[in-house]
Amino acid sequence: MAQSFRMKPPMGEDNGWWWKQAAEGKLAIQRCQSCQTLRHPPRPVCGECHSFEWDHITASGRGTLCSYTVLHHPQFPGFDYPLIIILVDLEEGTRFTSQLINCAPEDVTFGMRLEMIMHEDPDGFRLPMFQPAQGAAA
Amino acid sequence: MSHFLKDKTAIAGIGLTEFSKKSGVSELSLAAQATLRACDDAGVSPSEINGFVSYTLDSTDEIELARTVGAGDLKLFTKVNYGGGAAVGTILHAVMAVATGVANNVICYRAMNGRSGQRMGQGVSGQIISSDLVHWSWYMPYGMLTPGSWVAMIANKYMQRYGVTCEDLGRVAISQRNYAQNNPRAAGYGNPLTMEDYLASKVIADPLRLYDFCQETDGGCAILITSAERARDLKQKPAIIRGVAQASTQGQEQMTSYYRDELDSLPEMELAARLVYEQSGLGPDDINAACLYDAFTAEVIMQLESFGFCGRGEGKDMVRDGALDIDGRLPNNTHGGLLSESYIHGMNNIAEGARLIRGTSTSQPAGVEHVLVSSGVGVPTGALILGRD
Ligand SMILES: [Zn+2]
Protein backbone atom coordinates (compact mmCIF):
# COMPACT_ATOMS: atom_id res chain seq x y z
CA MET A 1 0.00 0.00 0.00
CA ALA A 2 1.24 3.46 -0.91
CA GLN A 3 0.65 5.61 2.10
CA SER A 4 1.30 9.31 2.45
CA PHE A 5 -2.26 9.67 1.06
CA ARG A 6 -3.94 9.20 4.41
CA MET A 7 -5.82 12.21 5.78
CA LYS A 8 -4.23 12.85 9.15
CA PRO A 9 -6.47 13.81 12.06
CA PRO A 10 -6.03 17.32 13.44
CA MET A 11 -4.35 16.95 16.83
CA GLY A 12 -6.43 19.17 19.10
CA GLU A 13 -6.62 19.46 22.89
CA ASP A 14 -9.44 16.94 23.03
CA ASN A 15 -8.10 14.23 20.75
CA GLY A 16 -4.35 14.66 20.18
CA TRP A 17 -3.47 12.64 23.28
CA TRP A 18 -5.36 9.65 21.89
CA TRP A 19 -3.29 9.62 18.70
CA LYS A 20 -0.10 9.89 20.77
CA GLN A 21 -1.17 6.67 22.49
CA ALA A 22 -1.78 5.07 19.10
CA ALA A 23 1.71 6.17 18.04
CA GLU A 24 2.98 4.18 21.01
CA GLY A 25 1.02 1.14 19.85
CA LYS A 26 -1.87 1.50 22.27
CA LEU A 27 -5.62 1.65 21.76
CA ALA A 28 -6.67 4.12 24.45
CA ILE A 29 -10.09 4.67 26.00
CA GLN A 30 -10.77 7.88 27.89
CA ARG A 31 -11.98 7.45 31.48
CA CYS A 32 -13.70 9.89 33.82
CA GLN A 33 -11.59 10.22 36.97
CA SER A 34 -14.63 11.06 39.04
CA CYS A 35 -17.15 8.34 38.10
CA GLN A 36 -14.89 6.01 36.09
CA THR A 37 -17.20 6.03 33.05
CA LEU A 38 -15.36 5.17 29.84
CA ARG A 39 -16.06 7.30 26.80
CA HIS A 40 -15.23 7.31 23.11
CA PRO A 41 -14.80 9.38 21.01
CA PRO A 42 -12.96 11.56 23.56
CA ARG A 43 -14.60 14.69 24.90
CA PRO A 44 -13.39 17.22 27.46
CA VAL A 45 -16.22 16.61 29.96
CA CYS A 46 -17.96 13.55 31.39
CA GLY A 47 -21.57 13.49 30.19
CA GLU A 48 -22.58 11.48 33.28
CA CYS A 49 -21.13 13.50 36.17
CA HIS A 50 -19.79 16.60 34.38
CA SER A 51 -16.27 16.20 35.69
CA PHE A 52 -13.49 17.74 33.61
CA GLU A 53 -10.94 15.36 35.15
CA TRP A 54 -10.04 12.37 33.04
CA ASP A 55 -7.32 9.86 32.32
CA HIS A 56 -7.37 6.81 30.10
CA ILE A 57 -6.97 3.07 30.08
CA THR A 58 -5.36 0.89 27.43
CA ALA A 59 -7.86 -1.43 25.79
CA SER A 60 -7.10 -5.13 25.48
CA GLY A 61 -7.76 -4.85 21.75
CA ARG A 62 -10.33 -7.62 21.88
CA GLY A 63 -13.89 -7.09 20.73
CA THR A 64 -16.75 -8.20 18.53
CA LEU A 65 -18.08 -6.86 15.26
CA CYS A 66 -21.13 -4.62 15.75
CA SER A 67 -21.65 -3.54 12.14
CA TYR A 68 -19.73 -3.09 8.91
CA THR A 69 -19.81 -1.82 5.37
CA VAL A 70 -17.72 -2.88 2.41
CA LEU A 71 -16.76 0.16 0.36
CA HIS A 72 -16.31 -0.19 -3.40
CA HIS A 73 -16.86 3.33 -4.76
CA PRO A 74 -15.73 6.07 -4.95
CA GLN A 75 -12.14 4.87 -4.66
CA PHE A 76 -9.79 7.34 -3.00
CA PRO A 77 -6.12 7.10 -3.90
CA GLY A 78 -4.05 4.88 -1.66
CA PHE A 79 -6.80 2.81 -0.06
CA ASP A 80 -7.22 -0.86 -0.99
CA TYR A 81 -10.70 -1.75 -2.26
CA PRO A 82 -12.97 -3.38 -1.38
CA LEU A 83 -12.36 -1.59 1.91
CA ILE A 84 -14.03 -3.09 4.98
CA ILE A 85 -15.00 -0.51 7.60
CA ILE A 86 -16.27 -1.82 10.91
CA LEU A 87 -17.72 -0.87 14.25
CA VAL A 88 -16.10 -2.88 17.03
CA ASP A 89 -17.68 -3.39 20.44
CA LEU A 90 -14.57 -3.45 22.60
CA GLU A 91 -14.68 -5.79 25.56
CA GLU A 92 -14.24 -2.78 27.85
CA GLY A 93 -17.68 -1.58 26.71
CA THR A 94 -17.00 1.29 24.31
CA ARG A 95 -17.37 1.16 20.55
CA PHE A 96 -14.71 2.01 17.99
CA THR A 97 -14.77 2.70 14.25
CA SER A 98 -11.95 0.98 12.38
CA GLN A 99 -10.89 -1.09 9.40
CA LEU A 100 -10.96 -4.88 9.14
CA ILE A 101 -7.90 -6.44 7.51
CA ASN A 102 -6.75 -10.00 6.82
CA CYS A 103 -10.35 -10.98 6.10
CA ALA A 104 -12.23 -11.42 2.82
CA PRO A 105 -15.47 -9.41 2.48
CA GLU A 106 -17.51 -12.61 2.18
CA ASP A 107 -16.12 -13.89 5.48
CA VAL A 108 -17.30 -10.92 7.55
CA THR A 109 -20.08 -11.75 10.01
CA PHE A 110 -21.96 -9.79 12.64
CA GLY A 111 -20.66 -10.67 16.09
CA MET A 112 -17.38 -12.15 14.86
CA ARG A 113 -14.51 -11.92 17.34
CA LEU A 114 -11.79 -9.46 16.50
CA GLU A 115 -8.39 -8.40 17.72
CA MET A 116 -6.57 -5.13 17.29
CA ILE A 117 -3.49 -4.96 15.15
CA MET A 118 -1.61 -1.64 15.04
CA HIS A 119 -1.13 -0.57 11.47
CA GLU A 120 1.83 1.61 10.55
CA ASP A 121 2.08 3.66 7.36
CA PRO A 122 5.45 4.06 5.60
CA ASP A 123 5.61 7.59 6.99
CA GLY A 124 5.32 6.20 10.53
CA PHE A 125 1.70 7.20 11.18
CA ARG A 126 -0.02 4.52 13.25
CA LEU A 127 -3.69 3.70 13.61
CA PRO A 128 -5.51 0.73 15.11
CA MET A 129 -7.01 -1.80 12.72
CA PHE A 130 -8.62 -5.13 13.48
CA GLN A 131 -8.41 -8.68 12.17
CA PRO A 132 -10.33 -11.87 12.94
CA ALA A 133 -9.28 -13.10 16.39
CA GLN A 134 -6.59 -15.73 16.04
CA GLY A 135 -7.50 -19.09 17.59
CA ALA A 136 -10.43 -17.57 19.42
CA ALA A 137 -12.91 -19.95 20.93
CA ALA A 138 -16.20 -19.01 19.30
CA MET B 1 -54.56 23.80 24.82
CA SER B 2 -53.31 23.97 21.31
CA HIS B 3 -49.68 24.68 20.60
CA PHE B 4 -48.67 28.28 19.96
CA LEU B 5 -47.33 27.56 16.46
CA LYS B 6 -50.16 25.31 15.28
CA ASP B 7 -52.09 26.65 12.28
CA LYS B 8 -50.58 30.16 12.57
CA THR B 9 -48.62 30.06 9.33
CA ALA B 10 -48.71 28.53 5.87
CA ILE B 11 -46.67 27.79 2.79
CA ALA B 12 -48.04 30.37 0.36
CA GLY B 13 -45.59 29.95 -2.47
CA ILE B 14 -43.10 27.48 -3.87
CA GLY B 15 -40.46 28.21 -6.47
CA LEU B 16 -38.16 25.82 -8.27
CA THR B 17 -35.53 26.24 -10.91
CA GLU B 18 -34.95 23.73 -13.64
CA PHE B 19 -33.00 20.74 -12.31
CA SER B 20 -29.92 19.67 -14.26
CA LYS B 21 -26.45 18.20 -14.03
CA LYS B 22 -24.86 21.49 -15.09
CA SER B 23 -26.80 24.69 -14.55
CA GLY B 24 -24.20 26.96 -16.14
CA VAL B 25 -25.18 29.74 -13.71
CA SER B 26 -24.13 30.72 -10.20
CA GLU B 27 -25.78 29.39 -7.07
CA LEU B 28 -26.87 32.98 -6.33
CA SER B 29 -28.65 33.02 -9.68
CA LEU B 30 -30.40 29.73 -8.86
CA ALA B 31 -31.44 31.06 -5.45
CA ALA B 32 -32.79 34.25 -7.03
CA GLN B 33 -34.77 32.36 -9.68
CA ALA B 34 -36.31 30.08 -7.08
CA THR B 35 -37.15 33.02 -4.81
CA LEU B 36 -38.77 35.09 -7.55
CA ARG B 37 -40.79 32.08 -8.69
CA ALA B 38 -41.97 31.46 -5.12
CA CYS B 39 -43.06 35.12 -4.86
CA ASP B 40 -44.82 34.92 -8.20
CA ASP B 41 -46.46 31.62 -7.26
CA ALA B 42 -47.87 33.23 -4.12
CA GLY B 43 -48.64 36.62 -5.58
CA VAL B 44 -46.35 38.40 -3.15
CA SER B 45 -43.97 41.14 -4.30
CA PRO B 46 -40.29 40.44 -3.59
CA SER B 47 -40.22 43.85 -1.90
CA GLU B 48 -42.53 42.40 0.76
CA ILE B 49 -40.04 39.68 1.73
CA ASN B 50 -38.44 40.61 5.04
CA GLY B 51 -36.87 37.35 6.10
CA PHE B 52 -34.50 34.79 4.56
CA VAL B 53 -33.50 31.43 5.98
CA SER B 54 -31.15 28.90 4.43
CA TYR B 55 -28.67 26.15 5.30
CA THR B 56 -25.19 26.71 6.70
CA LEU B 57 -23.93 24.73 3.70
CA ASP B 58 -25.57 27.10 1.23
CA SER B 59 -23.10 29.42 -0.50
CA THR B 60 -25.65 32.20 -1.03
CA ASP B 61 -25.81 34.60 1.89
CA GLU B 62 -29.15 36.06 2.86
CA ILE B 63 -28.25 39.67 2.10
CA GLU B 64 -26.75 38.77 -1.28
CA LEU B 65 -30.06 37.18 -2.22
CA ALA B 66 -32.07 40.03 -0.71
CA ARG B 67 -30.16 42.61 -2.77
CA THR B 68 -30.41 40.48 -5.89
CA VAL B 69 -34.18 40.04 -5.79
CA GLY B 70 -34.98 43.53 -4.51
CA ALA B 71 -36.29 42.47 -1.12
CA GLY B 72 -37.29 45.05 1.48
CA ASP B 73 -35.74 45.70 4.86
CA LEU B 74 -34.82 42.41 6.51
CA LYS B 75 -35.92 41.55 10.02
CA LEU B 76 -34.82 37.90 9.95
CA PHE B 77 -31.76 36.32 8.38
CA THR B 78 -30.36 33.05 9.56
CA LYS B 79 -28.88 29.75 8.50
CA VAL B 80 -29.59 26.32 9.90
CA ASN B 81 -26.86 23.75 10.43
CA TYR B 82 -26.38 20.06 9.54
CA GLY B 83 -26.80 19.60 5.82
CA GLY B 84 -30.08 18.02 4.76
CA GLY B 85 -31.13 18.01 8.41
CA ALA B 86 -31.66 21.74 8.02
CA ALA B 87 -34.51 21.48 5.48
CA VAL B 88 -37.45 21.46 7.87
CA GLY B 89 -35.41 23.53 10.31
CA THR B 90 -35.52 26.48 7.92
CA ILE B 91 -39.32 26.24 7.97
CA LEU B 92 -39.37 26.15 11.79
CA HIS B 93 -37.29 29.32 12.00
CA ALA B 94 -39.53 31.08 9.49
CA VAL B 95 -42.68 29.88 11.26
CA MET B 96 -41.43 31.13 14.64
CA ALA B 97 -40.62 34.50 13.14
CA VAL B 98 -43.96 34.91 11.37
CA ALA B 99 -46.06 33.56 14.25
CA THR B 100 -44.43 35.99 16.68
CA GLY B 101 -44.62 38.95 14.32
CA VAL B 102 -40.85 39.25 13.99
CA ALA B 103 -41.16 38.96 10.22
CA ASN B 104 -44.09 38.76 7.82
CA ASN B 105 -43.04 37.04 4.62
CA VAL B 106 -40.06 34.73 4.83
CA ILE B 107 -38.26 32.86 2.07
CA CYS B 108 -36.59 29.56 2.96
CA TYR B 109 -34.20 28.54 0.20
CA ARG B 110 -31.51 26.12 -0.90
CA ALA B 111 -29.65 26.51 -4.18
CA MET B 112 -26.76 24.33 -5.17
CA ASN B 113 -24.64 23.39 -8.10
CA GLY B 114 -24.64 20.01 -6.43
CA ARG B 115 -23.40 18.16 -9.47
CA SER B 116 -21.24 20.60 -11.42
CA GLY B 117 -19.89 22.34 -8.30
CA GLN B 118 -19.36 21.06 -4.76
CA ARG B 119 -20.75 17.52 -4.71
CA MET B 120 -22.10 16.21 -1.41
CA GLY B 121 -21.35 12.68 -2.58
CA GLN B 122 -17.66 13.53 -2.49
CA GLY B 123 -17.98 13.76 1.28
CA VAL B 124 -15.36 15.23 3.56
CA SER B 125 -12.63 15.06 0.97
CA GLY B 126 -14.05 18.38 -0.19
CA GLN B 127 -14.42 21.69 1.59
CA ILE B 128 -17.60 21.13 3.55
CA ILE B 129 -15.98 20.70 6.95
CA SER B 130 -14.63 23.23 9.38
CA SER B 131 -15.27 23.33 13.11
CA ASP B 132 -16.31 19.68 13.38
CA LEU B 133 -13.05 18.49 11.87
CA VAL B 134 -12.19 16.52 15.00
CA HIS B 135 -15.48 14.62 14.74
CA TRP B 136 -14.76 13.63 11.14
CA SER B 137 -11.20 12.73 12.02
CA TRP B 138 -12.36 9.49 13.65
CA TYR B 139 -13.47 8.36 10.19
CA MET B 140 -11.29 10.18 7.63
CA PRO B 141 -8.02 8.32 8.28
CA TYR B 142 -9.80 5.04 7.60
CA GLY B 143 -11.10 6.18 4.22
CA MET B 144 -14.64 6.59 5.48
CA LEU B 145 -15.22 9.82 3.60
CA THR B 146 -18.64 9.77 1.96
CA PRO B 147 -22.30 9.94 3.02
CA GLY B 148 -22.84 6.49 1.50
CA SER B 149 -20.21 4.96 3.76
CA TRP B 150 -21.61 6.62 6.89
CA VAL B 151 -25.18 5.58 6.16
CA ALA B 152 -24.31 2.03 5.06
CA MET B 153 -22.99 1.21 8.53
CA ILE B 154 -26.39 1.90 10.12
CA ALA B 155 -28.37 0.44 7.21
CA ASN B 156 -26.45 -2.83 7.38
CA LYS B 157 -27.08 -3.20 11.11
CA TYR B 158 -30.77 -2.39 10.71
CA MET B 159 -31.21 -4.76 7.77
CA GLN B 160 -29.46 -7.59 9.56
CA ARG B 161 -31.55 -7.10 12.72
CA TYR B 162 -34.90 -7.13 10.94
CA GLY B 163 -34.29 -9.24 7.85
CA VAL B 164 -34.61 -6.36 5.40
CA THR B 165 -33.41 -7.44 1.95
CA CYS B 166 -31.81 -5.73 -1.03
CA GLU B 167 -35.12 -6.22 -2.82
CA ASP B 168 -36.85 -4.18 -0.12
CA LEU B 169 -34.48 -1.28 -0.78
CA GLY B 170 -35.11 -1.81 -4.48
CA ARG B 171 -38.87 -1.53 -3.93
CA VAL B 172 -38.38 1.96 -2.46
CA ALA B 173 -36.19 3.03 -5.38
CA ILE B 174 -38.63 1.64 -7.94
CA SER B 175 -41.72 3.15 -6.29
CA GLN B 176 -40.18 6.61 -6.42
CA ARG B 177 -38.84 6.12 -9.93
CA ASN B 178 -42.38 5.20 -11.00
CA TYR B 179 -43.63 8.53 -9.64
CA ALA B 180 -40.88 10.32 -11.57
CA GLN B 181 -42.38 9.04 -14.82
CA ASN B 182 -45.19 11.59 -14.33
CA ASN B 183 -42.86 14.46 -13.43
CA PRO B 184 -40.97 16.10 -16.30
CA ARG B 185 -38.72 17.99 -13.83
CA ALA B 186 -37.41 14.71 -12.46
CA ALA B 187 -33.97 13.32 -13.22
CA GLY B 188 -35.56 9.88 -13.49
CA TYR B 189 -38.27 11.04 -15.93
CA GLY B 190 -38.33 8.77 -18.96
CA ASN B 191 -36.06 6.24 -17.25
CA PRO B 192 -38.15 3.59 -15.51
CA LEU B 193 -36.35 1.21 -13.16
CA THR B 194 -36.94 -2.52 -12.88
CA MET B 195 -35.88 -4.84 -10.08
CA GLU B 196 -33.47 -6.47 -12.52
CA ASP B 197 -31.86 -3.08 -13.23
CA TYR B 198 -31.73 -2.36 -9.53
CA LEU B 199 -30.08 -5.65 -8.56
CA ALA B 200 -27.64 -5.43 -11.47
CA SER B 201 -26.44 -1.96 -10.46
CA LYS B 202 -23.04 -1.72 -8.87
CA VAL B 203 -22.56 -1.98 -5.14
CA ILE B 204 -21.19 1.32 -3.79
CA ALA B 205 -21.10 0.81 -0.03
CA ASP B 206 -22.43 -2.63 0.81
CA PRO B 207 -25.42 -3.08 1.24
CA LEU B 208 -26.14 0.10 -0.76
CA ARG B 209 -26.18 0.05 -4.56
CA LEU B 210 -26.15 2.85 -7.10
CA TYR B 211 -29.95 3.20 -7.14
CA ASP B 212 -30.08 3.50 -3.35
CA PHE B 213 -28.40 6.90 -3.72
CA CYS B 214 -30.05 10.23 -4.46
CA GLN B 215 -29.46 12.31 -7.60
CA GLU B 216 -26.73 14.93 -7.28
CA THR B 217 -28.29 17.96 -8.94
CA ASP B 218 -27.84 21.59 -9.90
CA GLY B 219 -30.92 23.54 -8.91
CA GLY B 220 -32.69 25.70 -6.39
CA CYS B 221 -35.88 25.66 -4.40
CA ALA B 222 -37.57 28.36 -2.34
CA ILE B 223 -40.55 28.18 0.00
CA LEU B 224 -42.51 31.30 0.99
CA ILE B 225 -43.89 31.28 4.54
CA THR B 226 -46.47 33.83 5.63
CA SER B 227 -49.31 33.98 8.14
CA ALA B 228 -52.23 31.62 7.55
CA GLU B 229 -54.49 34.67 7.47
CA ARG B 230 -52.51 36.38 4.71
CA ALA B 231 -52.08 33.12 2.80
CA ARG B 232 -55.85 32.77 2.48
CA ASP B 233 -55.92 35.99 0.43
CA LEU B 234 -53.11 34.96 -1.92
CA LYS B 235 -53.07 33.07 -5.21
CA GLN B 236 -52.65 29.49 -4.02
CA LYS B 237 -54.50 27.24 -1.62
CA PRO B 238 -52.47 27.57 1.58
CA ALA B 239 -50.66 24.57 2.97
CA ILE B 240 -51.30 25.24 6.65
CA ILE B 241 -48.42 24.41 8.97
CA ARG B 242 -49.99 22.19 11.63
CA GLY B 243 -46.71 21.34 13.26
CA VAL B 244 -42.98 21.83 12.69
CA ALA B 245 -40.01 20.77 14.81
CA GLN B 246 -36.26 20.33 14.91
CA ALA B 247 -34.83 17.33 16.75
CA SER B 248 -31.45 16.10 17.95
CA THR B 249 -30.92 13.46 20.63
CA GLN B 250 -28.34 12.05 23.03
CA GLY B 251 -25.23 10.71 21.36
CA GLN B 252 -25.99 12.69 18.20
CA GLU B 253 -23.22 13.04 15.68
CA GLN B 254 -23.41 14.30 12.15
CA MET B 255 -24.00 11.11 10.11
CA THR B 256 -21.98 8.88 12.46
CA SER B 257 -24.05 8.40 15.63
CA TYR B 258 -22.41 5.01 16.10
CA TYR B 259 -21.93 5.02 19.84
CA ARG B 260 -25.52 4.67 21.01
CA ASP B 261 -26.54 1.33 22.54
CA GLU B 262 -28.90 0.53 19.67
CA LEU B 263 -28.08 1.31 16.05
CA ASP B 264 -31.21 -0.05 14.39
CA SER B 265 -33.52 2.92 14.85
CA LEU B 266 -33.41 6.70 14.39
CA PRO B 267 -33.77 8.36 17.82
CA GLU B 268 -33.68 11.90 16.43
CA MET B 269 -36.45 11.08 13.96
CA GLU B 270 -38.52 9.51 16.75
CA LEU B 271 -38.14 12.76 18.68
CA ALA B 272 -39.14 14.76 15.60
CA ALA B 273 -42.23 12.54 15.29
CA ARG B 274 -43.20 13.00 18.92
CA LEU B 275 -42.79 16.78 18.74
CA VAL B 276 -44.63 17.27 15.48
CA TYR B 277 -47.51 15.01 16.49
CA GLU B 278 -47.84 16.75 19.86
CA GLN B 279 -47.77 20.16 18.26
CA SER B 280 -50.34 19.33 15.59
CA GLY B 281 -52.58 17.16 17.74
CA LEU B 282 -52.36 14.59 14.95
CA GLY B 283 -51.02 11.06 14.77
CA PRO B 284 -49.81 8.64 12.13
CA ASP B 285 -53.39 7.64 11.30
CA ASP B 286 -54.13 11.23 10.23
CA ILE B 287 -51.29 11.35 7.70
CA ASN B 288 -52.38 10.55 4.13
CA ALA B 289 -49.11 11.05 2.24
CA ALA B 290 -45.49 11.75 3.03
CA CYS B 291 -42.20 13.07 1.77
CA LEU B 292 -39.80 11.11 3.94
CA TYR B 293 -36.23 12.27 3.45
CA ASP B 294 -34.65 9.91 0.98
CA ALA B 295 -31.00 10.60 0.32
CA PHE B 296 -30.80 6.78 0.63
CA THR B 297 -33.54 4.14 0.24
CA ALA B 298 -32.88 2.40 3.56
CA GLU B 299 -33.68 5.61 5.43
CA VAL B 300 -37.22 5.63 4.08
CA ILE B 301 -37.95 2.19 5.53
CA MET B 302 -36.51 3.12 8.91
CA GLN B 303 -38.58 6.32 9.07
CA LEU B 304 -41.85 4.40 8.60
CA GLU B 305 -41.05 3.00 12.03
CA SER B 306 -39.80 6.30 13.51
CA PHE B 307 -43.07 8.02 12.65
CA GLY B 308 -45.23 5.17 13.95
CA PHE B 309 -46.73 4.04 10.65
CA CYS B 310 -45.78 0.53 11.76
CA GLY B 311 -43.91 -1.19 14.57
CA ARG B 312 -40.15 -1.72 14.85
CA GLY B 313 -38.90 -4.00 12.12
CA GLU B 314 -42.16 -3.78 10.17
CA GLY B 315 -41.11 -1.07 7.71
CA LYS B 316 -40.10 -3.71 5.18
CA ASP B 317 -43.55 -5.29 5.38
CA MET B 318 -45.22 -1.98 4.55
CA VAL B 319 -42.91 -1.59 1.57
CA ARG B 320 -43.65 -5.13 0.40
CA ASP B 321 -47.38 -4.35 0.68
CA GLY B 322 -46.95 -1.42 -1.70
CA ALA B 323 -47.73 1.14 1.02
CA LEU B 324 -45.54 3.80 -0.62
CA ASP B 325 -47.27 3.58 -4.01
CA ILE B 326 -50.04 5.88 -5.27
CA ASP B 327 -52.85 3.58 -4.10
CA GLY B 328 -51.04 2.45 -0.94
CA ARG B 329 -51.43 3.39 2.70
CA LEU B 330 -48.85 6.18 2.51
CA PRO B 331 -47.95 7.48 -0.96
CA ASN B 332 -44.41 8.72 -0.46
CA ASN B 333 -42.30 11.16 -2.46
CA THR B 334 -44.85 11.39 -5.24
CA HIS B 335 -42.57 13.73 -7.21
CA GLY B 336 -39.80 11.11 -7.22
CA GLY B 337 -38.01 12.49 -4.17
CA LEU B 338 -34.30 13.03 -3.78
CA LEU B 339 -33.79 9.58 -5.30
CA SER B 340 -35.56 10.24 -8.58
CA GLU B 341 -36.51 13.92 -8.88
CA SER B 342 -33.44 15.73 -7.61
CA TYR B 343 -31.32 16.26 -4.54
CA ILE B 344 -31.99 19.83 -3.46
CA HIS B 345 -31.17 18.83 0.09
CA GLY B 346 -34.81 18.18 0.99
CA MET B 347 -36.27 21.57 0.04
CA ASN B 348 -37.86 20.03 -3.04
CA ASN B 349 -39.57 17.48 -0.78
CA ILE B 350 -41.14 20.37 1.17
CA ALA B 351 -42.33 21.87 -2.12
CA GLU B 352 -43.98 18.55 -2.99
CA GLY B 353 -45.63 18.52 0.43
CA ALA B 354 -47.27 21.85 -0.44
CA ARG B 355 -48.33 20.53 -3.86
CA LEU B 356 -49.93 17.47 -2.28
CA ILE B 357 -52.02 19.77 -0.07
CA ARG B 358 -52.95 21.96 -3.06
CA GLY B 359 -53.86 18.83 -5.03
CA THR B 360 -51.37 19.61 -7.80
CA SER B 361 -48.81 16.81 -7.56
CA THR B 362 -48.02 15.14 -10.86
CA SER B 363 -49.01 11.96 -9.02
CA GLN B 364 -51.82 13.23 -6.81
CA PRO B 365 -53.36 10.63 -4.49
CA ALA B 366 -57.03 11.04 -3.63
CA GLY B 367 -58.16 12.68 -0.41
CA VAL B 368 -54.98 14.18 1.00
CA GLU B 369 -55.70 16.11 4.20
CA HIS B 370 -52.33 15.94 5.92
CA VAL B 371 -48.81 15.44 4.61
CA LEU B 372 -45.72 14.65 6.66
CA VAL B 373 -42.32 15.92 5.50
CA SER B 374 -39.06 15.02 7.21
CA SER B 375 -35.53 16.30 6.80
CA GLY B 376 -32.09 14.68 6.80
CA VAL B 377 -31.59 11.24 8.31
CA GLY B 378 -28.69 10.43 10.65
CA VAL B 379 -28.15 14.11 11.39
CA PRO B 380 -29.92 16.60 13.64
CA THR B 381 -33.21 16.74 11.80
CA GLY B 382 -36.83 17.84 11.85
CA ALA B 383 -40.38 17.11 10.75
CA LEU B 384 -43.24 19.11 9.33
CA ILE B 385 -46.97 18.41 9.02
CA LEU B 386 -48.91 20.36 6.42
CA GLY B 387 -52.71 20.42 6.29
CA ARG B 388 -55.54 21.57 4.06
CA ASP B 389 -57.22 24.76 5.21
ZN1 LIG C 1 -17.96 11.06 35.22
Q: Which residues of B touch A65 (CB under 8 A)?
A: none
Same domain for A65 and A98:
yes
Half-sphere exposure of B34 (CA within 13 A, CB side): 33
Mean predicted lDDT score pLDDT of chain A: 93
Interface mutation vs chain A, best among B139, B142, B254, most A CBs within 10 Å: B142
A4 confidence band (pLDDT: 50, 70, 90): low
Listed in sequence order, the residues at least 6 apart from B264 whose beta carbon sits closer than 8 Å to its beta carbon are: B154, B157, B158, B161, B162
Which among A6, A10, A87 is the nearest to B133, CB-wise? A10
Would A130 be classed as within a structural domain? yes
Would A20 be classed as within a structural domain? yes
Predicted pLDDT of residue B135: 87
* pLDDT over threshold 60, residue A61: yes
Using 50 as the pLDDT threshold, list the residues of chain B that sit under it: 126-131
Same domain for A50 and A79:
no
Q: Which CATH number is B58's domain given?
A: 3.40.47.10
d(CA B279, CA B140): 39
Note the pLDDT tens digit of each residue in B309-345. 999 999 999 999 999 999 999 999 999 999 999 999 9
Predicted pLDDT of residue B123: 65
Nearest to B215 by CA among B18, B20, B68: B20
Interface of A with B in 84-123 (CB under 8 A): 85, 87, 94-95, 97-99, 105, 110
Predicted pLDDT of residue A9: 87
Would A6 be classed as within a structural domain? no
Alpha helices in chain B (DSSP H): 27-42, 62-69, 86-99, 133-136, 147-162, 166-180, 195-200, 228-231, 267-280, 297-306, 315-320, 337-340, 347-358
Which among A10, A76, A97 is the nearest to B134, CB-wise? A10
Same domain for A44 and A82:
no
CB contact under 8 A, B206 and A72: yes
Same domain for A41 and A19:
yes
Distance from CA of A79 to the nearest CA of B (A): 7
Q: Which residues of B touch A40 (CB under 8 A)?
A: 259
* pLDDT over threshold 50, residue A15: yes
Would B322 be classed as within a structural domain? yes
Same domain for A40 and A80:
no
CB contact under 8 A, A97 and B122: no
Same domain for A128 and A92:
yes
Same domain for A33 and A80:
no
Query: Which residues span the domain enclosing B44?
Result: 9-117+213-388
Distance from CA of A65 to the nearest CA of B (A): 11
Note the pLDDT tens digit of each residue in A97-130. 999 999 999 999 999 999 999 999 999 999 999 9
Would B252 be classed as within a structural domain? yes
Same domain for A44 and A94:
no
Predicted pLDDT of residue B129: 39
* pLDDT over threshold 70, residue A136: no
Residue B265: C-alpha distances to residues A94, B209, B300, B314 (Å)? 19, 21, 12, 12
Residue A30 at interface with chain B, using a CB cutoff of 8 Å: no
Count structural domains, chain B: 1
Distance from CA of B248 to the nearest CA of A (A): 16
d(CA B83, CA B57): 6
Same domain for A43 and A71:
no
Would A2 be classed as within a structural domain? no
Other Cβ atoms within 10 Å of B165 Cβ, number: 12
Distance from CA of B161 to the nearest CA of A (A): 10
Would A37 be classed as within a structural domain? yes
Count structural domains, chain A: 2
Predicted pLDDT of residue B126: 46
Would A38 be classed as within a structural domain? yes
Same domain for A66 and A133:
yes
Predicted pLDDT of residue A50: 92
Distance A52 CA to ligand 1 centre (A): 8
Instruction: Look up the pTM and report it.
Output: 0.94
* pLDDT over threshold 90, residue A1: no
3-state secondary structure of A50: coil
Predicted pLDDT of residue B338: 98
Predicted pLDDT of residue A138: 42
Would B278 be classed as within a structural domain? yes
Helix B267-280 to helix B297-306 angle, to the nearest 10 degrees? 50
Predicted pLDDT of residue A62: 98
Q: Which residues of B touch A23 (CB under 8 A)?
A: none
Would B314 be classed as within a structural domain? yes
Query: Which residues span the domain enclosing A39?
Result: 11-58
Predicted pLDDT of residue B219: 97
